[in-house]
């Protein structure tokens, strides 16, 4: 009688142990899935302006609730809204200075071709060579500002993205109390 109990309990223990082991292997969750989702929203240029080591660090801090949704300057107001929606919090957007999309621009007259800016650019958006004037690819620039800090002659500045016929649209009507 005793033997039967011992044997059956051993078998049960082994089977459940195996099941748990298999489940742990195949159904494993790597980290907090929310972190990956938040990281998808962030610009991904690892500029570090938020004070966290890259976008992954910022995403982790956001997921744990340790950082405000307004932390990312390149993302601007649109990103703050998206993050607030994702995290289900009310965003206080009053503090977000929405300058609209910006872009780095090299002032050609004072560029000395030192190559420092394109070495720090996280998206390879600056082209140049030693003793040559550098130039910014507008499509690739995220306005992270790293090049502005690196430039010894202050020839790189952040400027609003120029409006073209393709990007122009009507402003929001100012109707006071209407509607």
Binding site for other proteins (CB under 8 A): 43-46, 78, 101, 122-125, 139-142, 163-165, 167-173, 175-179
Residue 162 Cβ vs other proteins, minimum distance, rounded to whole Å: 10
Residue 64 Cβ vs other proteins, minimum distance, rounded to whole Å: 23
Angstrom CA distances, 65 to 58, 68, 71, 89, 90, stand at 10, 7, 12, 10, 13
Which CB atom, from 43 or from 145, has the smaller least distance to other proteins? 43
Angstrom CA distances, 2 to 7, 8, 10, stand at 9, 10, 12
Rounded Cα gap, residues 8 and 13, in angstroms: 8
Residue 47 Cβ vs other proteins, minimum distance, rounded to whole Å: 9
Which CB atom, from 65 or from 100, has the smaller least distance to other proteins? 100
CB 125 within 8 A of CB 140: yes
Which CB atom, from 10 or from 40, has the smaller least distance to other proteins? 40
Which CB atom, from 26 or from 168, has the smaller least distance to other proteins? 168
Residue 157 Cβ vs other proteins, minimum distance, rounded to whole Å: 19
Q: Identify the helix (H) or strand (E) that includes residue 126.
A: strand 126-127
């Amino acid at each position: 009688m005793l033997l039967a109990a011992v044997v059956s309990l051993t078998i049960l223990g082994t089977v459940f142990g195996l099941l748990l082991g298999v489940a742990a292997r195949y159904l494993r969750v790597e980290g907090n899935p929310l972190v990956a989702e938040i990281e998808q929203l962030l610009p991904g240029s690892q500029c570090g302006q938020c004070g966290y080591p890259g976008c992954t660090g910022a995403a982790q801090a956001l997921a744990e609730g340790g950082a405000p949704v307004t932390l990312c300057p390149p993302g601007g107001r649109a990103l703050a809204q998206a993050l607030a929606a994702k995290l289900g919090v009310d965003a206080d957007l009053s503090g977000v200075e929405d300058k609209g999309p910006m872009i780095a621009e090299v002032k050609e007259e004072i560029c000395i071709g030192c190559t420092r800016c394109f070495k720090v650019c996280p998206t390879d958006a600056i082209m140049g060579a030693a003793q040559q004037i550098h130039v910014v690819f507008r499509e690739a620039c995220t306005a992270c500002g790293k090049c502005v800090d690196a430039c010894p002659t202050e020839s790189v500045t952040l400027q609003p993205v120029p409006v073209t016929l393709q990007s122009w649209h009507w402003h929001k009507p100012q109707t006071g109390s209407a509607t």
